[in-house]
Amino acid sequence: MTESLALVLCPSPTERATLLAVLASLGYETQTAETPEGAIALFERRHPDLVAIADGEELPRLLEELRRRRRHEVEFFVMTHAEEDALRALEAGASEVTTGPLHPALLRHRLQRLHAERLLQRHFHGLRQLCATASRIAGILGWGWRPDEDRFQWPDGAETWWHGAAPQRQGELLARVHDEDRFRVETVFEHLRLIRRQTEVEFRLKEEAVRFVRLVAEPCAEDEDLILGVLVDVTQARRFEAALAHLSHYDELTGIPNRKHFLRAAREILPHATLDRPQLLLYLDVAGLAGINDAYGDRAGDTVLRTLAQRLAHWSTRYGGIACRVGGDEFAALIIPGSESHETEALEELLETLEQPLPLLGRDDRSEELRPRVTIGGVWIPAAGNELEALIRLAQRQQRHALASGRRFSLTAEPSADDAPTVQLEAALHQALARQEFFLLYQPQLELETRRIVGAEALLRWRHPQRGVLPPIQFIPLLEETGLILEAGRWIIEEAATQLGAWNDAGIPLRLAVNLSARQILDDGLVDHIAECLRRHRLPPPQLEFEITETLAIRDPERARAMIAAIRSLGCPVALDDFGVGYASLEYLLQFPFDAIKLDMSFVHRLVETPVDRAIVRGVVTMADALGKRVIAEGVETARQADYLHAMGVDEIQGWHVGKPMPAAALAERLREDGHGPQ
């Protein structure tokens, strides 16, 4: 029992001594009063947890006075020799009453029980406050509904959630539902009334600002006439998803589609290209943007990009197409000009539109006119092919050709001639594993709270016999296309497990992350291979982490969910990689049993300058923290980015600010030198 204060008022010296001895044995600090007035004075000065009072004519009045003056929950223990006094004490508010002679063992038992009840009451009171606070913060409201009576039951505080009086009948609730959602909600209640099975629905409430609400309900197990459920305010989650979706598909500076959105839309348009109705893919570059930034400032450069983007987008829509900002000062567009005979007319019109003078404010606040300069490369579809990425590369080469030759634009209808190197590369890949040309580099991951390196990511590289070391972007897609990724993926897991075992033997235990590909997720032997590697190298499973991309998770959700569960059943954690580059909502992705979320580097790169990205990162961290998941930020290049991420609650960071990808020996040496390795 933790020490508490007991106030004792007992005229009998013998009984007082017995009471004080028992209280001391229970760990109470005791304070004795000689008179009722003295007890009141001590009560107000010391604020005891327990008051023990013996017989006295003023007992009821004293109890009422003490109860009136208490500042917190106090237990009142009364000892009397008459049953009528015991009844009066209970009526006056006594917590426990004992009659007859004081028996030390019985007295100790009753005081222990009284103390336990007090602690239990405090615990339940605190738990109830915690639940109420959590429900308020999370926007959750419980409810009950009796269909036969059409009557709702609401807990205390329902008026706050409803921003007014809570509805008492189904019709009152439906009247507050958005007109477009009302039928679905009414159907759900009819389903609950007739079928009595668990169901849920999301809908909007008609308020000054539209609120998104999720309703979940099921029959009560103990009362078949009662439906129990919750209402969850998911407005912030929906706003967060909308902001994330917009950021994922549109360029933040210019407001036009980004490269990812353009590729998605172009793939839907390309199949409709014919020789009679060709399409034209354009690649545009703005000349001299760096000079504009130097002369007028970065804000002026941003103004130029925004204006050109809007002009290009407007022009593209006139030709039934779409435009995007590829990045930096480069743009792309896919249009349907009608025929190749109109190409010069269309491009001259585009250049005239883009190169209209722009008013800019110089550094001396004087208004000046600037005429942007643009060069364009283009390819005709389908004459030049129909593989989108190859067409973009060809259009980009045409733009560079136009720039080098001093022309404003350059078009071609000839297919790309760069397939031969790809064929040669594919042939070399088939021999790479046998020739031991693959190797792993390791990029450290830093825990922000402790500033210690706690893990690393294994990254595949290829030492090509003629081209030297190749980055993954040049051969990973080929591994996927040819199916060689299965063999290479097993080699990566084996090599990573071997290295973990070596580090463990050297006293350097780290968590090591390995990426899984789409084909590996479909490999029925993957989990057995992982289990065998763990056994053979005597690895604690939490040391070997696997990363699955967001795109992979939503492509085949059932398969991905099953594979994640199987890997986690081995004890290995699974992380969601590249979060933010796909199309899924965070709420949807968190239905997968991930242990960690890796923020894509695109958020980190814009974090310091962009409030939207900071808001998104905070939202991800808040939801992940509530579900007990780690958050790791990729691509951290500066101390300022790291400080922002630390302040937002991100757990770990990875990037050149922590360390570039390095050989295993170099990482081990660094850990030994700076003392940041896990103990």
In DSSP notation, 519-584 reads HHHT-TTHHHHHHHHHHHTT--GGGEEEEEEHHHHHHSHHHHHHHHHHHHHTT--EEEEEETSSS-
Q: Is the pLDDT of residue 178 over 80?
A: yes
* 90-138 per-position pLDDT tens digit: 877 788 888 777 778 888 888 888 877 776 666 665 555 555 555 666 6
Over pLDDT 90: what percentage of the chain?
A: 32
- Our CA angle for 425, 430, 435, nearest 5°, is 105
Is residue 508 within 8 Å of residue 444, measured between CB atoms?
Answer: no
Is residue 248 within 8 Å of residue 260, measured between CB atoms?
Answer: yes
User: What pLDDT is attached to residue 366?
Assistant: 64
* Of 94-108, 170-184, 496-510, the least confident: 94-108
CA 322 to chain centroid: 32
If one looks up domain 422-670 in CATH, what number appears? Answer: 3.20.20.450
Q: Facing residues of 515 across strands?
A: 547
Helix axes 235-249, 259-269, angle to 10 degrees: 70
Is residue 400 within 8 Å of residue 410, measured between CB atoms?
Answer: no
The sign of the dihedral angle between the CA atoms of 335, 336, 342, 345 is: negative
Query: Regarding the domain delimited by 139-233, which CATH topology (the fold level of the hierarchy) does it fall under?
Result: Beta-Lactamase (3.30.450)
User: What pLDDT is attached to residue 416?
Assistant: 59
Question: Which of 461, 479, 457 shows the shortest CA–CA distance to 667?
Answer: 457
* More confident of the two residues 412 and 460: 460
Q: Is the pLDDT of residue 581 over 60?
A: no
**73 three-state secondary structure:** coil
User: What pLDDT is attached to residue 340?
Assistant: 54
Q: Is the pLDDT of residue 456 over 70?
A: yes
* 142-169 per-position pLDDT tens digit: 899 999 899 999 988 788 889 889 999 9
**489 three-state secondary structure:** helix
CA distance 10 to 435: 94
CA 250 to chain centroid: 21
User: What pLDDT is attached to residue 57?
Assistant: 63
CA distance 501 to 492: 14
Q: Is the pLDDT of residue 676 over 60?
A: no
Strands (E), 89-139: 96-99
Average of pLDDT values for 221-247?
86
* Of 51-60, 63-72, 486-495, 542-551, the least confident: 51-60
- Where is mean pLDDT largest: 133-142, 557-566, 602-611? 557-566
User: What pLDDT is attached to residue 679?
Assistant: 46
State phi, psi for 361 to the nearest 5 degrees: -100, 115
* More confident of the two residues 567 and 117: 567
Average of pLDDT values for 65-71?
84
User: What pLDDT is attached to residue 144?
Assistant: 92
* 241-292 per-position pLDDT tens digit: 888 778 788 988 999 999 889 998 998 888 888 877 888 999 999 877 766 7
If one looks up domain 5-134 in CATH, what number appears? Answer: 3.40.50.2300
User: What pLDDT is attached to residue 478?
Assistant: 76
Q: Is the pLDDT of residue 360 over 90?
A: no
**435 three-state secondary structure:** coil
CB proximity list for 123: less than 8 A, separation 6 or greater? none
The number of helices, as runs of H, and strands, as runs of E, in the chain is 26, 26
CA distance 265 to 262: 5
Over pLDDT 70: what percentage of the chain?
A: 89
Average of pLDDT values for 416-444?
78
Q: What is residue 203's DSSP assignment?
A: E
Would you state the structure tokens that stand for residue 333, as one six-digit string? 């567009």
Average of pLDDT values for 230-243?
86
pLDDT band at 73, cuts 50/70/90? confident
**75 three-state secondary structure:** strand
Q: Is the pLDDT of residue 310 over 80?
A: yes
Q: Facing residues of 203 across strands?
A: 213
Distances (CA, A) of 622 to 102, 601, 613: 57, 19, 14
* 512-555 per-position pLDDT tens digit: 999 998 778 878 899 999 999 999 999 999 999 999 987 677 66
Would you state the structure tokens that stand for residue 373, as one six-digit string? 């300069």
User: What pLDDT is attached to residue 362?
Assistant: 59
Write the DSSP string, 603-664: HHHTTTT-HHHHHHHHHHHHHHHHTT-EEEE----SHHHHHHHHHTT--EEESTTT---B-H
CA distance 39 to 494: 76
Q: Could you state, in order of their start, the residue ranges of all structural domains in the chain?
A: 5-134, 139-233, 252-417, 422-670
Average of pLDDT values for 444-458?
94
Is residue 654 within 8 Å of residue 632, measured between CB atoms?
Answer: yes
Q: Is the pLDDT of residue 6 over 80?
A: yes
* More confident of the two residues 433 and 284: 284
User: What pLDDT is attached to residue 65?
Assistant: 85
Q: Which CATH class is domain 252-417?
A: alpha beta
User: What pLDDT is attached to residue 136?
Assistant: 62
| 465 CB neighbour count, 10 Å cutoff | 11
CA distance 86 to 54: 11
Write the DSSP string, 252-277: TTT-SBBHHHHHHHHHHHGGG--SSS
Average of pLDDT values for 407-427?
68
CA 228 to chain centroid: 29
Average of pLDDT values for 53-58?
73
User: What pLDDT is attached to residue 135?
Assistant: 60
Average of pLDDT values for 560-581?
88
Length of the chain, please?
Answer: 679
- Buried/exposed 625-647: b ≥16 CB within 10 Å, e otherwise: eeeebbbbbbbbeeeebbebbee
Question: Which of 192, 667, 169 shows the shortest CA–CA distance to 455?
Answer: 667
CA distance 15 to 663: 79
Distances (CA, A) of 408 to 323, 344, 375, 444: 19, 11, 5, 47
Would you state the structure tokens that stand for residue 250, as one six-digit string? 């549109």
Write the DSSP string, 39-70: HHHHHHHH--SEEEE---TTHHHHHHHHHHH-
